[in-house]
Structure 1
């Protein structure tokens, strides 16, 4: 969709919200490949007819070069021709450019009294107009030419207008105010239900023999911290400890099938070892206690619009405390690989070897996660480390990331939105280092459409 078509929709947004019946054109928009079924379900979840119309107009602007013309066709086919005609008129309207106002010459008389002076200056139009009559009367005064000291001079005085009338893109006359800029609309998710929603925490600490995955000492501290924190945000928190792949799948499916219609949000936290994985949308995979790898993409897909209809249009937050791979962020090249005292208290989330090359971090496995029509809207995926890199956990106080996350949420969660909170977390985590050599840089995938503020109990 080009800029001209986009501006036509924006200019007529209020009219479309008032008169458009989106339910009549949903099927046509799907059949003409403008939207998928999941996208339409997201629009329906926006609320009543007016809210659906508003969301449809917003989403339509992102649906390609043919979206506008197809939208007009759908309006005509569903007896909403009057709306189509109004929008089509905007295509043929050529807005006039701004009026070019040039400085004008205003005659001014040198005063007969030498102790008074005139000087050049900028006059506003309102300042000039009342003096025109006085100038006219002085020019017509017969005594004007009788005095040798009365000399005429013409001084160019440009007129400067504070506001300039122009024709806007809609063809209506408007004032261009030089001192005011438009403000972006404030969009926030509804987060006032009590409870706010479910929070599921999966905490894998001990792994089966033969998996070559170390015990994740300190992870129970992380689990307890996050349980208390999300309870303070009025979530119903459920925890699971040491689950196999089958048990985790069953738990995720069960949670997705719950009725979330009375809640505003959903949170999933997974604390485990992790690794790289082939992916289409989201990187990484999570180890379960039996050594099996489950792709992050598959985990997220349990809660898409098809699998969990009562979460459509609501924010879904995923926090993953696990390695994203075997690489390590370093600030210098280590010259001595002998184990330092700090090595005894820091583990990676990848495996049992010393931190120079964690044994639990295997080569990327040939995984083929199920491909679905996943609609990533209203989703926020938080990774404790960059894709492909290890994360760090202190055996006595828990992981770096969860420790900082909990402190930031406690201190600023009542006032800042989620994205602002995570920027603070990333900054603080990035300042930590293991043995002065290795760093950790968290990241996220943000598909939220509005700002999210937690509600503190």
Structure 2
């Protein structure tokens, strides 16, 4: 008996055009080009897969795999009676995955490409592909499909794709190359869910992961314990971005020289960009007073994070040892902010990583800024010193990490044009080094 037609129709009605395009691309190794081009609906695709024996009688395993890869966990539950965890276990089993890993690697490349990247791909391929295939509506999936059709891309032919990525965005190729190096030339890709254990050990964010044997999915026995980072969104990334300190200057004499934090919006933009790519829902709050900081933290403390795997908080402000300033010049202890998310105070984040990145300028002690000599020998007055910190700022319990802009009793620097050196380096590291099959916390904590 074949899969019930009503079930396939129900799933089909839930999928949009973009998801159909993704499913067609993922099914390329099972259905010929001509048959795929005739597909006009998800149900057409399911019928084609049944014709090829991929959707077997009474066995929707490949359909579960496809829905899992495009992130439609809701359909797994409502129409196929399965769950994310069940499919993950299926894909771990030897022979459990029917999708070639290279196919999924290319699909992940499509998801990582920005609109700007896509425009560059089109311009660089204008001599290789006809103009009719490079229109405004052309997606990265369309480009990859056309390259495959014309023999410009394949399992043993990645040279053109490599060359394009090197010209357009080297981080895209680094992700592909990492996959090649990690998994070998045959079966290369592994999903994010397979990179982590389903358990959450207390006190350890992540450790190294042994490579898979060629042609098989990751054996969980090879993994050291790590946090699960598979929810979508992965969690909230809260950004508290303080720029305008006019209220502080209008207040007590101590803060008359507290400058506005020019350059902080560059940092906020970089954080928004990278954490969006890492599947976090980014929420930014600007120019908060001390009370505003407390109220914002309290509001996120009271939220239900049960269906999220992580919480990230980025604080960009003036400060001093163990202190963050509101734009009114009033102080908020860092420990007060982090303690709000302990297991006792925020139960839905118990056992989950809570990560704080703090960039805070010193304020009055170094209000005039400093000059440094550039490589050209010119003086640059656009650089200001940041805060000194103490490190008794986080609760004495597991699952917390505090990333500071400087060591205790040392200053760090902020460019009024290019942002802070710490935040920019952090974002560049994540942007460059985080292929989608690696959880971001491995890159942050993997070598600590």
Q: TM-score, normalised by structure 1?
A: 0.42
**Which structure: greater helix fraction?**
2
Larger radius of gyration: 1
